Structure 1
């Protein structure tokens, strides 16, 4: 599912295997366990940074809708509620981690996989393969308000927000860089991960207080936290019912 490796001041979290790394409860629990280790092992050390990447063709292909659909019409609702709860927990865990966080996009990152990347402070991406793609419009899957707040906060250029959300464009690294969605583009996956580790080492080298860093991140993106806290369970339930009727 995933591995966690410590390289000096860097925690390297890798989604393992050649599958699509779809976000089902099993994978998300594995990531949450790894992040819990990161929090624990970073206590008492001068400073750290997290790099998340993945093996194979995909960085992450979003929420595991096939797993939810496999339960049938009745089970679909329960599985979607579980996926939504786990994904919110994973998102808030990343957004509150007391250190700089970097996503090294190793392949395709679509839907929830794109949002997972946006939960990091920095996004680096390979140029030779892979796309960023919010495909919710194409599959009639409305993006919840709290994740729309995250997109507004992280995708700063209006044209970038419009094209990703309302045109569902597929962006390669250089296009995503031009739209201000990622921070840098690199030739290969190895170069991307190496650059992410170097950036992490540079940031960790500042020896900032991790708790202060996390608090300042929360204040910087306060509208995201407000939206997460104001999440309307009834609205989400209606979204699930609407999704089920269209699948």
Structure 2
């Protein structure tokens, strides 16, 4: 699940445990509940959010074992809907957001990190990885739109999606995906806290900040209304939003 800590005007949301932090409905619901609490407690002052995790993984993507164990293929749709709602929550959150990536962030976990305004990463462990091509799945359309919104050139977009590059922190900085690289999880979180405090010091209006972010992510928001959910054959089925 996750925990939420407040250090002055900076909230730290930590995905807890020493597993792969695969995104299933229980974990997604836990994160969304924490975001709702952050939003409710930040209405009177400027704040910032940091999202990080314990252990070797930031998140290793969707919990496919959970999703594909359902012969009726309802679970993939539920899981996808919940992640899209989480992405909407992040895009609409009235404050700057920072992903402090402590380890591997793959597929949906990579998308979760990208949906933050800033991405900081430890350089000594882990990589960012859009794994769909390597594991035989078609990438959801809205994943691609998130990647496009955060990459600087078609060459980089191709490397992320069509070459399934395993992006280290140093590569991520070079490609413009990662804002800064740090030595270890603790140093990454500390750098995120410093950045969060700097951003809070600007004393921006949170609702204006969120409105501007929604404009920046308008194309992402537009494709969140439909989805390609994982099918048991390795293909994605186009479904209407639940």
Normalised by the shorter chain, which TM-score bucket?
A: over 0.9
1:240 partnered with 2:236: no
Retained in 2: the 8 A contact 1:160–1:181? no
1:56 partnered with 2:55: yes
Retained in 1: the 8 A contact 2:68–2:232? no
User: What is the deviation of 1:179?
Assistant: 0.9
Give the TM-score normalised by structure 2. Answer: 0.93
User: What is the deviation of 1:142?
Assistant: 1.6
Partner of 1:112: 108
Give the TM-score normalised by structure 1. Answer: 0.92
Partner of 2:21: 21
Deviations 1:119-159 (A, max 9, x none): 10000000011111100111122222222111101122322
Give distance in 1, aligned partners of 2:39 and 2:205.
13
Give distance in 1, aligned partners of 2:23 and 2:113.
13
Give distance in 1, aligned partners of 2:54 and 2:90.
20
User: What is the deviation of 1:188?
Assistant: 1.0
Structure with greater proportional helix content: 1
Give distance in 2, aligned partners of 1:160 and 1:186.
22
User: What is the deviation of 1:93?
Assistant: 0.7
Partner SS for 2:135: coil
Q: How many residues align?
A: 236
Deviations 1:2-47 (A, max 9, x none): 0000000101000011000000011001001000101101112x20
